[in-house]
Every structure is written in C-alpha cells, then in structure tokens.
Amino acid sequence: MEDGRAGSGELRCPVPHAENTPLPPGHPSVPNANPSTLQPPSGEHCIFLRQSDDAPTVPSADTSRPVVVPPPITSPEDAKYVLVLSSRKSELAVRQASLVQSLLEQQFGQAALASPAESEVRQFLQSFAPSSGIRPIDFPVRTMSTLGDLNLKAPLCVIGGEGRAIWTKELEVALMAGAVDAIVHSLKDVPTTMPEGTELAAILEREDPRDALVVKQGLPYKSLDEMPKGSVIGTSSVRRVALLRRSYPHLMFSDVRGNINTRLAKLDANDGPYTALVLAAAGLKRMELDHRITAYVAEPVLLHAVGQGSLAIEIRTPRDASAERDQRIRHMIRSISNWRASWRCAAERALMHRMEGGCSIPLGVATRFDDHSDIEGQLNERLETPQEMLHAGVSRPSIQVAATPPEEGCRLTMSAVIVSLDGSQQCQHTESLVCRSIQDAEQLGIQVAEDLEHKKNARVILAEVEHHRQLAAAADEKRRAATAAGNKPQASSQAAEMDRRGLPRDDGAPKAWEV
C-alpha cells in the first residue's frame, strides 16, 4: 500500500497498526508505536537487519567437537525385532519421527500381524528367526541435539563449518556406531553428498513444499502486497530474502531462529520487531498451526527450497550380503517410500549438488508432474489457505494414488531461479523431461543446472555470494587485528574473543559470514 501524507506534509502510514507495535527503521510515524529494537545493517553488503541481542548465548558450538554416542538400547537377540529411529529433539522433529514410526508399525507392527491378508509381511518377519516364531517389530524413537540446535543466535548462513551438516552430523555418528538404525530428517536439511556408509532409503509423501506468510496477530495485512514500506519480515533464509527482494524491495528482513513456537512467540510479542514471518508451510501443518497461515508465497514470487516439505530416512548402507540386519532395515524403510516425492526431490537435489550449494545459496526450485493439479494440487498443495478451506467446508479429498510409476513414464517439469543477494540480478530456467526412473529425474536436475551455469550466467551471481563471504572475512580479520592492538594480552585462563558462532576467533576455523 502507498504511504499517505498528513496535512502538514509529514509521511504517515495509512494502514492500522496494533497498539504498541514496534516499527522498523524508516517506517512512517504511527501514534502509540514503540521504537524498533532492530539496528540497520552495518554495511552495503549486509542483507539482514541486526538484532541488539544477537551475541551468542550458548557454549562453544565447535563443529569438530567429539560426539557422545548413546549406548544401544537393545540386546543382540532383541535387535532382530527392534528398529531404533532417531531425530532431533525439537517438537517438530519428534512429530515427524512419530509419523514414520506410525507408518512402519502399520506395515510391520502388531497391526500387520493381526491381518491374515498380510502374507508377505508374515513371511518377512518369519525370516528373522524361523525357530522362534513371529514377533512384531518395535520402532522406538531416540532424540539427540545437533549443532544447529545449540546455536540459535547466529543466522544459518553465518554458522559456517559443515553447512547443512549442522543438523545431521551428531545423528549420523550415532547411526554409524549402531546406537540407532534410521534417522528421520527434514530433507532440506540433508547435504546432497551423503557420508560414506549411509544412504537415503526413503522419501515420504511430500507435505506442502511452499512457503507461508504468517502476519503478526492484530495486524490487518493479508499478503506481502499490502505491507507498508519498511515492514520487517522475519526469516533465517538467504533464499527467501534474495527472492522476495525482487518483488518487494521496500521490505526489510531480520534473522529469526528457534523452533516454530519460539518464532511465533517472537512475532506476536508486544515488543517484537516483526511485521510477519515467512516459514515453511509444511512445518506449520505438521505442528497443527496451519490456522496461522495468512497466505502462501509461491512461484513466481518465491520458489521453495530444495527438498522442502519432504521427510527422508537415512540408514546404514549394508556392507555386503552378510549384513542381514541392515538389509532387513533397508527393506522395511523402502516400503514406506513415495515415488512421486522421491523423483521430484531427486531432481531438486541433483540440481543443488551440481551447483555445489547449501543454506547460503539463494536458489529456489519448483517441480511438478503433468497431473499435479489432480494429485498434489488436490492433496497437499491446494491453492486455498487452511482458513479458506475451513470457511468453505472443504476437506482433503480421498484420491487413489498409484503406488508405482507408470511403465510409459511421466513428464516432470522443473523450474529454478538464482537471485543476487540484493534482488537486482537473476537467472532462471524451466525444463521438462519424460521420466521412467529416478535416474531420469536426476538427469533433469543436472540439465537445468547446466543451463543455469552455461546459458543463464548463474556463476556470476554465485561469485557475488562468494565475494560477500570474502568481504566479511576481511572485515572480521581487520576487527580482530584492531582488538589485539588495542587491548592487553589476556591470560591463558581467560576466554578468547568469540565470533557470532560462539567459536574463539583464533581457532583457525573459517571466519563467520557476518550478514
């Protein structure tokens, strides 16, 4: 909306604001508004507003620190009938693990044995220990904290270290040590190169991959188009900032971390600086918070992240034919995989792998089959918001989806865009391919990546991102030198100066990307 002017010529915002709502820097004056707690970016290369409390408040989050592996929870005999699932400790991660647990119990638990029609399942379970009869499989869940959970202050693109592995490393150490048997991941958090000895055995039916706008309670805005100049959008995603800046250069962006409930609490707080948040719709729906979705923000404005909305299950790769237990685990996990989601995500991850990207690359994607409007468009990716569906009395339809892909193949279309950090430059490409296997889907992703690289100038934009990193590293080194020159040497027992990751600045690790 356009800003209005009062009779005195003073710039005023014509949109009603909740009383005492903090206003961002540069926003027109509003009666009864609190001053913003945000600070303007510190330089032209910064992309986020700075929080006044963005200093680390957690112990050193060293990516090389040893991981304490929990002991196995089963005896060797019981291990035949137990598959230990693992996830992070957040409420969303636990809900996601519980979903996988439920699917596996339906296939191989007590419920499966209760049905005489499940002859294949009974034969499979009988093969575990032919002499001891048939027992259902148990699927306990064991949770762990990861580096990404420990450092909630630094933006994701600042933490550095092992990129997306900040969400997976500790879990994978436990997996390879045999303390757990399968890890439930949000696929967008999983690096495209898997650690040696592990594999993704299943990708479940995809939840809504789009991003969602959540407006602060009490504010009247229904879309980003209605946001006045200077409105602050909370997000920890460089992708979202860069892509949204193309269409909304008048908006401001501030990093926000924490689990979903924490972020919503920050949004709704009376002294909170945010006008709205942009979050993954899938997380809100799995947390039964979809009533907070004000609007979907999708293509062409905002393409989603690679793998967004998908759950993936990582297992140990069976070393050889003698690794019978790992073979059985692979069989059980693969049984709940969804080929439609797997093919779409395979194309997206192949693109990401070719672009050598991670959390810090402003890349957005969108994939769909030709029958998208009849399947995903009716199930998980409807155009209506949950509020609109509820108001209209619409519920999720019952649609029979083929369990296996058609022999003749199906056409998959992928769109991808890479945008500069300031939103001024972009390259994008859309391509389709008739796929008959997951390898064909991966080839589609590679083809799109090659087009972006060789015809659309993607490397120029990505070079700018890397240049931004180098500028930040140089500025960080300069500040360290000034601090060392101006202060007396500290005793060895005193703590060294810390960077925004919570790491000592003299630890030899790559310098933080201080956005």
Task: Identify the domain containing residue 455 by its residue range.
Answer: 339-381+404-483
pLDDT band at 37 (very low <50, low <70, confident <90, very high): low
* Same domain membership, residue 189 and residue 86: yes
CATH value at residue 416 = 3.30.160.40
Is the distance from CB of 360 to CB of 306 less than 8 angstroms?
A: no
Is the distance from CB of 319 to CB of 326 less than 8 angstroms?
A: yes
pLDDT digits (tens, 9 = 90+) for 73-128: 556 667 788 999 999 888 999 999 999 999 999 988 887 777 665 667 777 776 76
Q: pLDDT higher for 167 or 289?
A: 289
pLDDT of residue 353: 93
Helix-, strand-, coil-residue percentages of the chain, each rounded to 5: 35, 15, 50
Is the distance from CB of 255 to CB of 186 less than 8 angstroms?
A: no
pLDDT band at 418 (very low <50, low <70, confident <90, very high): very high
With CA atoms as reference, report the closest residue to 305 among 246, 360, 376: 360
- Provide the pairing of β-strand 232-234 with 295-297: unpaired
382 pLDDT above the threshold of 60: yes
Residue range 293-305: mean pLDDT, rounded:
96
Whether 394 is in a domain gets the answer: no
* Same domain membership, residue 320 and residue 196: yes
* Same domain membership, residue 194 and residue 225: no
Q: What is the count of structural domains for the chain? A: 3
* Same domain membership, residue 289 and residue 227: yes
56 pLDDT above the threshold of 60: no
Is the distance from CB of 311 to CB of 85 less than 8 angstroms?
A: no
With CA atoms as reference, report the closest residue to 282 among 87, 98, 92: 92
The residue among 303, 321, 355 that closes a domain is: 303
Residue range 425-443: mean pLDDT, rounded:
97
* Same domain membership, residue 100 and residue 199: yes
pLDDT of residue 422: 81
Of 189, 208, 255, 290, the active-site residue reads 189
Q: What is the pTM of this model?
A: 0.80
Is the distance from CB of 228 to CB of 310 less than 8 angstroms?
A: no
pLDDT of residue 6: 41
Measured CA to CA, the distance from residue 81 to residue 170 in angstroms comes to: 25
Whether 47 is in a domain gets the answer: no
H-state helical runs in 356-487: 376-379, 386-392, 438-454, 458-486
* Same domain membership, residue 347 and residue 332: no
Torsion of Cα atoms, 122 then 123 then 129 then 132, to 10°: 50
Torsion sign, CA atoms 246, 252, 255, 258: negative
Whether 515 is in a domain gets the answer: no
Whether 465 is in a domain gets the answer: yes
CATH value at residue 84 = 3.40.190.10
Whether 492 is in a domain gets the answer: no
Residue range 488-501: mean pLDDT, rounded:
42
Q: Based on the residue annotation, tell me whether 189 is a catalytic residue of this protein.
A: yes
Whether 45 is in a domain gets the answer: no
Whether 77 is in a domain gets the answer: yes
With CA atoms as reference, report the closest residue to 207 among 186, 232, 235: 186
pLDDT of residue 389: 82
Least confident interval from 1-10, 168-177, 305-314, 341-350: 1-10
* Same domain membership, residue 353 and residue 232: no
Q: pLDDT higher for 260 or 164?
A: 260
Give the angle 286-292-295 at the CA atoms, nearest 5°. 100
The residue among 244, 277, 303 that closes a domain is: 303
pLDDT of residue 4: 40
Whether 93 is in a domain gets the answer: yes
Give the angle 122-125-131 at the CA atoms, nearest 5°. 105
* Same domain membership, residue 269 and residue 352: no
C-alpha distances (whole Å) from 437 to each of 23, 339, 341 are 52, 9, 13
* Same domain membership, residue 201 and residue 177: yes
* Same domain membership, residue 283 and residue 151: no
Q: pLDDT higher for 311 or 476?
A: 311
* Same domain membership, residue 167 and residue 76: yes
* Same domain membership, residue 188 and residue 151: yes
